[in-house]
Amino acid sequence: MNYGTGEGPVSIFCSDLDGDNDIDLAVANCTSHNVSILTNNGDGTFDSAVDYATGNGSQSVFGGDLDADEDIDLAVANWSGDNVSVLFNLTQNPANQPPEPFSLISPIDGSSVAETVTFDWEDAIDPNPSDQVTYDLYISTSIGFHPDSTIINSDLQISQYTETLNSGLHYWKVKAVDNWGAETWSDQTWNFSVTSVSVEEDLTEMPLFVSQNYPNPFSQSTTISFNLTAEFTENTEMIIYNIKGQKIRTLDCINYVNAASTRLMHSQKNYITWNGKDEKGKNVTSGIYFFILKSNNSILETKKLILIREK
């Protein structure tokens, strides 16, 4: 398919000239002393050319953000006129928007965890489709996040990170940043305590295995299974939280002894089922939740659950 331009086209430049995320064309026309702009219709076809005057003998065209307003301007080299024509882009592109608000997930506020901590937070959605979002995770031993007591893990590509920390009280928050530098902080700043666990304690107190809930996502009920040494089963509970960190329900364990595990590891296999109801027996809404396995007032494991109610 051919598209008309000015007379004597000798150079072409391709870029998104009108801010709609499609590639448009700019053509330098030597004989007619102008530049033809052909905007993309979004399906690979182009509108009729619109011509803009330049100096004499337009020979080459190139584009860049020459006036720092986040759109593409054009510079045209004019062979006969011995000069350069600059065409500023007057397209009113939408201003860049920062990522949308997002929440922390775990470790939850006021929790107690082992030294190896997995941080998890919601994905931050950016209103500008072409923007990419990265994350800066801030972990500090001071509530004011003093530089001398703060670890910053920058340019994280996903909304999860694992860090080994010393015992004590820690605070954490996350900053989402798009590729223009616009930023949004997490809705919360949470704290948690790191408790040291020795190798011997780890073998006797920590779960040998914790499975992801099944099914996941679920619409009615879901089951989590795990192995835990028998002496700590009685002090174990499962707590369900919503995405805001609000406690939804505390669940009891349903236990049976796995004979093979008892012989080998002195452990029990435990099952916990959640029916998607809160403490008052009311159905909770669809959304992201997470469960915390807690034994002897220590958090042993945290995992996500996704509830999707059938309409």
- pLDDT of residue 90 exceeding 90: no
pTM for the model stands at 0.47
pLDDT of residue 199: 39
**Is 76:54 a contact under the CB 8 Å cutoff?**
yes
What is the rounded CA–CA span in Å between residue 121 and residue 244? 11
Nearest CA-CA partner of 30 in 49, 48, 3, 12:
12
Q: What's the chain's average pLDDT? A: 84
- In this prediction, residue 55 has a pLDDT band, given cuts at 50, 70 and 90, of very high
| pLDDT confidence of residue 232 | 55
Tell me what percent of the residues of the chain surpass a pLDDT of 70.
84
Q: pLDDT (tens digit, 9 = 90+) per residue, 264-310?
A: 344 455 677 889 999 998 999 998 888 887 777 677 778 888 899 88
Q: Please tell me the distance from the alpha carbon of residue 136 to that of residue 210, in angstroms, as a whole number.
A: 29
pLDDT category, 204, cuts 50, 70, 90? very low
CB atoms within 10 A of CB 35: 26
Confidence class for position 18, pLDDT limits 50, 70, 90: confident
pLDDT value of residue 233: 56
Q: How confident is the model at residue 234 (pLDDT cuts 50, 70, 90)?
A: low
The model's pLDDT over 235-275, given as tens digits with 9 standing for 90+, comes to 677 889 888 778 899 887 654 334 333 333 444 556 778 89
Cα(292)–Cα(120) distance, integer angstroms:
13
CA pair distance 277, 195, nearest whole angstrom = 32
pLDDT over threshold 90, residue 208: no
CB atoms within 10 A of CB 304: 15
Nearest by Cα to 94 from 175, 185, 182? 182
Beta bridge partners of 73: 64
Task: Please give the pLDDT value at position 119.
Answer: 93
CB burial class (10 A; 0-12, 13-18, 19+) of residue 162?
exposed
Query: What's the confidence (pLDDT) of residue 246?
Result: 84
Question: Stretch 3-19: mean pLDDT, rounded?
Answer: 93
The answer to whether the beta carbons of residues 21 and 72 sit under 8 Å apart is no
CA atoms within 13 A on the CB side of 105: 22
Average pLDDT over residues 149-170: 93
pLDDT at 133: 95
Nearest to 116 by CA among 237, 197, 205: 197
Residues 120-146 have a mean pLDDT of 92
pLDDT for the residue 53 = 94
Report residue 131's pLDDT band, with 50, 70 and 90 as the boundaries.
confident
Lowest model confidence (mean pLDDT) among 23-37, 83-97, 273-287: 83-97
